[in-house]
Amino acid sequence: MCHVYLNVSQDPVTGRDQSMAQFWSRITTEYHQMLPSHITTIRPWRSLQARWQTIMTAIGKLRGCVRQIENLNPSGASEQDIFEKAKDLLMQEPKYQKGFKFDHVWPILKNMEKYADTSREKASGHRKRSKCNEMSPS
């Protein structure tokens, strides 16, 4: 589902020129096309949308934990070490005490554009100025 979402959301031909219903209709169609033929269960778009929101909430929380661990600058820590420490940190939240359930999609979504922009700003040490600041007289 994650690959389908990324393909549809990053389609340069359609871009943002589609309604929410069209967007999720495309995701639903492509999702069902990529399923193996022995899976005949049809999931409505609202079901896929709800699942996506569940995944993105968990990924967003984990991404925040990864940033916290990265900010500690653990010496010699690999990306996997940081990921494991971030999962441990996430498990301190009551909702995630049983663990992070989306290890399999983390590699697909960790560099998603939604998160990449803030990571690049942090890495460069620059933040975008708000329009109010740009327009204020010097």
Share above pLDDT 70 across residues of the chain, in percent, rounded to a whole number: 81
- The DSSP 8-state label assigned to residue 129 in this structure reads P
pLDDT digits (tens, 9 = 90+) for 17-34: 788 889 999 999 999 999
**DSSP 8-state symbol, 116:** H
Cβ proximity of 51 and 1 under 8 Å: yes
The encoded tokens of residue 20 equal 């929410």
- Specify whether the CB–CB gap between 64 and 42 falls below 8 A: no
What's the start-to-end Cα distance of the chain, in Å?
Answer: 49
Q: Do 49 and 25 contact (CB within 8 A), yes or no?
A: no
**Confidence label for 10 from pLDDT (cuts 50, 70 and 90):** confident
d(CA 123, CA 102): 26
Q: What is the pLDDT of residues 75-130, one digit of tens each?
A: 888 999 999 999 999 999 999 999 899 999 999 998 877 655 444 444 444 444 43
